Amino acid sequence: MARLHLLVRGHVQGIGFRATVFDRAAELGLKGWVRNNRDGSVECIAEGPADALEALRLLCRQGPPGARITSFDELSEPERGEFSAFHVQPTH
């Protein structure tokens, strides 16, 4: 098990990015969260098997239809086991 922390910038809000990430994370059985940030970025932390995290990373790198990604930062970390499910957090 591993942990992935993503920060995606560009035209990524108001186009269903969080909903797309939430749906895919649920399909993959991942735990964590996705949220909009006030600076216009989308942030995601997910924990689970490496192959599932890679699938989510690829989805976030491309984004849903309408996304225009200008910056994509990722950090791989050891799993902390702090989540029981995947959810959408309020804007931070």
Closest CA to 10 of 48, 67, 74, 61: 67
Alpha carbons within 13 angstroms on the beta-carbon side of residue 22 total: 12
Residue whose token pair is 């994509």: 72
Distance CA(41)–CA(77), nearest Å, equals: 21
Sheet holding 68-78, edge to edge: 68-78, 2-11, 42-48, 31-36, 86-88
For 71-84, what is each residue's pLDDT tens digit?
999 998 889 999 99
18-72 residue pLDDT tens: 999 999 999 999 999 999 999 999 999 999 999 999 999 999 999 999 999 999 9
User: At 1, is the pLDDT very low, low, confident or very high (cuts 50, 70, 90)?
Assistant: confident
Q: Domains of the chain: which residue ranges?
A: 2-76
What pLDDT score does 19 carry?
98
What are the residue numbers of the active site? 18, 36
Class of domain 2-76: alpha beta
| Whether 2 contacts 63, CB under 8 Å | no
pTM, two decimal places: 0.94
